[in-house]
């Protein structure tokens, strides 16, 4: 197989950058986006805020202590999605092989686009320039022959960076880097490696595969390959909005709780939101998953597969309810609750159900009516009415 050219494109401090692009008075100011109520966490911090030690996933109270003069902004998902969609469309004008991995990150396979758009660095330059002109935000781009190294490259010179790591440079570039720069190496693995006297990628490369497999099981082979800069070069063709494998939501509770009724109410409002999102993207989902994180940060998830795929909030909520019933909360308090619907398929044929049963279609109509109310009065109007 000939050598592929893989690009990892990562928008810089994305949510915060969008807020700065939309609000000129925020520019060059520390901007912190996230949950602004009691238990909120930082979703994104502008580079000006990062200078004060603020970073994403940090509790908001801590961010406020570190940078009290920052501009604090609640998350505006719809707005960020518009920016994200624009960048995806731009990527697609270069190659159909665009695989978004999150709202602000995507892999592109630009192998063979040379004739149309010029060499890889020129493609990268054009993409950065257009994103800058169209959206007034910056993106960092990494190029390599595989995903693993492309991602390291995009991270190399953030923000607004452009780095190409050629295979020939790999050992030299990797050897002195800390092992945590390789994806798939979390804190636990890092600690275990550290106990073996390994902190740099070059040292990791010196360990035989057998030993890595003995120590780390399946992860051993990944470590072996990653330390050599070997990774997958497969980038799937863009699947469109339909291609999303799941819809999900999670929320950190205002206060840790083991009140099942309270948890059920949270699940109810999430079920309503997820059902609406499924209908928006014309999908039906068959698997419902709930996730609980306890005060001690232990996290458990449980799934159930429905008999029929659905976009109906009652069915999703009922499944979530059953899952919650089966979970033994014991004396544990819940800190975060999440709900997801996966195993999605195209929902265009939903009216077929009317041949057999009026129920689902009636429910479907009711859900549509709910969607309209949400559109007119904003999210929250409906769920609150139900919860009362």
Residue 147 or 335 with smaller CB distance to Mg ion: 147
Residue 60 or 141 with smaller CB distance to Mg ion: 141
Q: What is the DSSP string of 320-360?
A: HHHHHHHS--TTPPEEEEEEEEEEEEE-TTGGGGGGT-HHH
Q: Say which residues have a Cβ less than 8 Å from residue 369's Cβ, sequence separation at least 6.
A: none
User: Closest distance between Mg ion and the C-beta of residue 83, in Å?
Assistant: 12
Does residue 8 belong to the site contacting Mg ion (CB under 5 A)?
no
Does residue 10 belong to the site contacting Mg ion (CB under 5 A)?
yes
User: Closest distance between Mg ion and the C-beta of residue 18, in Å?
Assistant: 11
User: Closest distance between Mg ion and the C-beta of residue 106, in Å?
Assistant: 10
Catalytic amino acids?
105
Residue 10 or 321 with smaller CB distance to Mg ion: 10
Nearest to Mg ion by Cβ — which residue? 104
**Contact positions with Mg ion (CB under 5 A) in 221-260:** none
Judged by CB under 5 A, the stretch of 12-20, 22-30, 187-195, 211-219 that binds Mg ion is 12-20
Q: How far apart are CA 271 and CA 178, in angstroms?
A: 42
Residue 10 or 109 with smaller CB distance to Mg ion: 10
Burial environment of residue 192 by CB neighbours within 10 A (0 to 12, 13 to 18, 19 or more): middle
The site that binds Mg ion (CB under 5 A) totals a number of residues, namely 4
Judged by CB under 5 A, the stretch of 3-11, 62-70, 233-241, 266-274 that binds Mg ion is 3-11
Q: How far apart are CA 86 and CA 80, in angstroms?
A: 10
Q: How far apart are CA 328 and CA 290, in angstroms?
A: 13
Judged by CB under 5 A, the stretch of 2-10, 72-80, 191-199, 282-290 that binds Mg ion is 2-10
Residue 10 or 367 with smaller CB distance to Mg ion: 10
Residue 83 or 94 with smaller CB distance to Mg ion: 83
Are 231 and 148 in contact, with CB atoms under 8 Å apart?
yes
Burial environment of residue 78 by CB neighbours within 10 A (0 to 12, 13 to 18, 19 or more): exposed
Judged by CB under 5 A, the stretch of 79-87, 96-104, 201-209, 339-347 that binds Mg ion is 96-104
Sheet containing 283-294: which strands, arranged edge to edge? 246-257, 334-346, 283-294, 299-310
Q: Which two tokens stand for residue 306?
A: 């429905």
User: Closest distance between Mg ion and the C-beta of residue 55, in Å?
Assistant: 12
Q: Say which residues have a Cβ less than 8 Å from residue 6's Cβ, sequence separation at least 6.
A: 107, 108, 109, 110, 111, 143, 144, 145, 146, 147, 150, 233, 235
Q: How far apart are CA 7 and CA 4, in angstroms?
A: 10
Judged by CB under 5 A, the stretch of 41-49, 99-107, 240-248, 253-261 that binds Mg ion is 99-107
User: Closest distance between Mg ion and the C-beta of residue 14, in Å?
Assistant: 5
**Contact positions with Mg ion (CB under 5 A) in 126-165:** none
Are 283 and 345 in contact, with CB atoms under 8 Å apart?
yes
Handedness of CA 354, 358, 360, 362 (dihedral sign): positive
Q: How far apart are CA 185 and CA 202, in angstroms?
A: 15
User: Closest distance between Mg ion and the C-beta of residue 292, in Å?
Assistant: 28
Q: How far apart are CA 311 and CA 280, in angstroms?
A: 10
User: Closest distance between Mg ion and the C-beta of residue 54, in Å?
Assistant: 15
Phi/psi at 115 (5° precision) = -60, -40
Residue 11 or 233 with smaller CB distance to Mg ion: 11
**Contact positions with Mg ion (CB under 5 A) in 102-121:** 104
List residues binding Mg ion (CB under 5 A). 10-11, 14, 104
């Amino acid at each position: 197989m000939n050598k592929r050219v893989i690009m990892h494109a990562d928008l810089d401090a994305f949510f915060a950058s969008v807020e700065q692009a939309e609000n000129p008075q925020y520019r060059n100011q520390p901007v912190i986006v996230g949950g602004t109520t009691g238990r909120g966490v930082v979703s994104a911090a502008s580079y000006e805020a990062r200078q004060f030690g603020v970073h994403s996933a940090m509790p908001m109270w801590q961010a406020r202590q570190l940078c009290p003069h920052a501009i604090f902004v609640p998350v505006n998902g719809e707005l960020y999605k518009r920016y994200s969609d624009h960048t995806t469309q731009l990527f697609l004008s270069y190659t159909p092989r665009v695989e978004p991995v999150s709202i602000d990150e995507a892999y592109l396979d630009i192998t063979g686009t040379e004739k149309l758009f010029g060499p890889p660095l020129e493609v990268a330059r054009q993409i950065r320039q257009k994103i800058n002109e169209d959206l007034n935000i910056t993106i960092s781009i990494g190029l390599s022959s595989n995903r693993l190294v492309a991602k390291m490259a995009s991270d190399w010179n953030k923000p607004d960076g452009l780095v190409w790591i050629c295979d020939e440079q790999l050992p030299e570039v990797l050897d002195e880097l800390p092992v945590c720069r390789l994806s798939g190496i979390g804190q636990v693995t890092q600690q275990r490696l550290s106990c073996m006297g390994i902190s740099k990628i070059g040292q990791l490369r010196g360990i035989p595969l057998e030993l890595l497999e003995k120590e780390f099981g399946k992860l051993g082979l990944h470590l072996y390959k990653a330390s050599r800069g070997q990774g997958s070069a497969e980038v799937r063709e863009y699947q469109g909005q339909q291609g999303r494998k799941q819809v999900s939501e999670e929320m950190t509770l205002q206060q840790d709780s083991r009140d099942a009724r309270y948890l059920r109410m949270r699940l109810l409002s999430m079920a309503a939101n997820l059902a609406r999102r499924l209908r928006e993207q014309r999908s039906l989902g068959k698997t419902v998953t709930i996730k609980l994180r306890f005060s001690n940060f232990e996290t458990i998830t449980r799934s159930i597969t429905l008999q029929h795929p659905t976009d109906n909030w009652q069915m999703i909520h009922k499944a979530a309810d059953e899952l919650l019933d089966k979970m033994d909360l014991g004396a544990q308090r819940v800190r975060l609750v999440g709900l997801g619907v996966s195993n999605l398929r195209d929902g265009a044929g939903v009216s077929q159900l009317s041949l057999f049963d009026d129920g689902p279609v009636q429910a479907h109509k009711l859900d549509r009516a709910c969607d309209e109310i949400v559109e007119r009065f904003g999210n929250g109007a409906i769920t609150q009415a139900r919860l009362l």
